């Protein structure tokens, strides 16, 4: 006597590539992208993504009603302007929604036999979109995102059968967690070692001058944008400006100036050197808080500038990616990210030593791994007998 099909039999029989589901994946991605715009704006500024609940115009701060907050459509109909104040709404908002929609569609199409796996990669892509746009704009990676992604990888290791783990499908939830943990350790530990070596090799830059040159601290304008590096407090030497965010990453970073003619608030100080540590100045055994100074300037014959080879945000991001994609993905992702960074530096005409966000390149490398990198790496492993 034939038995009636179970729920799981019916689930497997569903045509997951039906046009309705494909279009739904695109629409879902656009809606998620609308929320990601909120996260991209608020997270690095220390704002809650839940309060206020409605999106608001960054210009007039008025809340946007739901009928004026339709993903993709609203930006096009209003021609990138706020309906209240006619202020310009950056193209980034439309780009995030469209990019997320396309990524959701691609992930749904790429995994036709496993909708659970497709959903996992959709969520991972959403997190990477936040990383890419925040890091590109502000040169930082929110740790909330990387820890959420790490948790996602651990959950997926238990619930979803990864085909990207090259050492085989996990046999049970304990095996899945171990695979995910190995990936996190490989990603985090590998890039952390790069950071340590980078600090030893590139931790400081020394500038020596045959003749003394003028230097000063340049205050930002009263109405300057605090998130714009070009409008932050700057150290200017010989006409070249160095933003505060480019100089001081860690509490231990210090800017050492050797020279003469130092002037504090317009008064000459008989000293041959001083040290600046982020928010303070050490001069002749005294500590002066920068926020209390009106001016600081002088002449320098030698300057030691601190610099960072890579931020810890990239390390946590690589740990997240290793956790989600497996330890084998780490080398491929970092290698591909380096190639992307070189290409971006060439296209952007960035000179040696200039800062370039590495998060977007890591995200691109991980995306390449998901689509075809794991196959290429698997072929390589088979050729070398690993």
Question: Each residue of 221-278: pLDDT tens digit?
Answer: 554 444 444 456 888 888 888 777 667 766 677 888 999 889 999 889 888 889 988 8
- Distances in Å between the Cα of 158 and the Cα atoms of 151, 175, 206, 349 are 11, 8, 51, 45
Q: What pLDDT shows up at residue 367?
A: 93
94/212 same-domain check: no
- Distances in Å between the Cα of 19 and the Cα atoms of 13, 108, 112, 113 are 16, 11, 13, 15
Q: What pLDDT shows up at residue 7?
A: 43
Last residue of some domain: 90, 110, 130?
110
Q: What pLDDT shows up at residue 260?
A: 87
Inter-residue contact 363 to 254 (CB < 8 Å): no
Question: Each residue of 279-298: pLDDT tens digit?
Answer: 889 988 889 888 888 889 99
Look at residue 347 and tell me if it is in a domain. Answer: yes
> Domain containing 209: what range?
204-306
Q: Is the pTM of this model over 0.75?
A: no
Last residue of some domain: 283, 306, 329?
306
In the predicted model, is pLDDT for residue 364 greater than 60?
yes
61/136 same-domain check: no
Question: How many domains are contained in the chain?
Answer: 3
- DSSP structural state of residue 190: H
Q: What angle do CA 94, 39, 132 make, to 5 degrees?
A: 70
315/196 same-domain check: yes
Q: Read off the pLDDT of each residue in 11-30 and give the average, rounded to a whole number.
A: 77
Last residue of some domain: 72, 91, 110?
110
What is the torsional sign of CA 198, 204, 207, 213?
positive
Question: Each residue of 172-221: pLDDT tens digit?
Answer: 667 778 888 989 999 999 888 887 776 666 666 778 888 889 998 888 75
């Amino acid at each position: 006597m034939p038995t009636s099909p179970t729920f799981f039999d019916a689930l497997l029989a569903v045509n997951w590539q039906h046009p309705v589901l494909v279009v739904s994946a695109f629409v879902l991605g656009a809606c998620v992208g609308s929320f990601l715009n909120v996260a991209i704006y608020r997270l690095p500024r220390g704002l809650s993504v839940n309060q206020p609940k409605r999106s608001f115009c960054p210009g007039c701060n008025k809340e946007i009603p739901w009928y004026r907050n339709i993903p993709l459509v609203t930006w096009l109909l209003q021609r990138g302007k706020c309906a209240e104040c006619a202020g310009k709404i950056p193209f980034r908002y439309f780009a995030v929604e469209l990019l997320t929609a396309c990524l959701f569609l691609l992930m749904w199409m790429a995994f036709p036999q496993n909708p659970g796996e497709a959903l996992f990669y959709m969520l991972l892509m959403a997190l990477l979109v936040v990383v890419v746009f925040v890091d590109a704009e502000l040169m930082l990676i929110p740790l909330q995102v990387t820890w959420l992604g790490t948790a996602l990888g651990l959950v997926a290791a238990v619930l979803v059968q990864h085909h990207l783990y090259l050492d085989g499908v996990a046999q049970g939830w304990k095996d899945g967690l171990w695979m995910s943990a190995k990936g996190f350790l490989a990603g985090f530990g590998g890039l952390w070692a790069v950071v340590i070596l980078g600090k030893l090799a590139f931790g400081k830059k020394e500038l020596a001058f045959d003749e003394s040159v003028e230097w000063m601290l340049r205050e930002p304008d009263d109405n300057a944008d605090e998130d714009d590096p070009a409008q932050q407090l700057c150290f200017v030497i010989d006409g070249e400006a160095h933003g505060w965010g480019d100089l001081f990453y860690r509490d231990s970073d210090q800017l050492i100036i050797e020279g003469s003619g130092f002037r504090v608030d317009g008064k000459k100080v008989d000293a041959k050197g001083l040290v600046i540590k982020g928010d303070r100045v050490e001069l002749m055994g005294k500590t002066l808080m920068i926020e209390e100074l009106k001016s600081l300037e002088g002449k320098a014959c030698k300057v030691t500038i601190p610099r960072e080879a890579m931020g810890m945000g990239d390390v946590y991001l690589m740990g997240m990616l290793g956790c989600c994609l497996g330890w084998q993905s780490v080398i491929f992702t970092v290698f591909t990210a380096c190639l992307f960074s070189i290409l971006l530096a060439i296209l952007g005409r960035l000179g040696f030593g200039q800062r370039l966000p590495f998060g977007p390149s890591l995200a691109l490398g991980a995306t390449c791994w998901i689509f075809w990198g794991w196959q290429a790496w698997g072929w390589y492993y088979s050729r070398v007998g690993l």
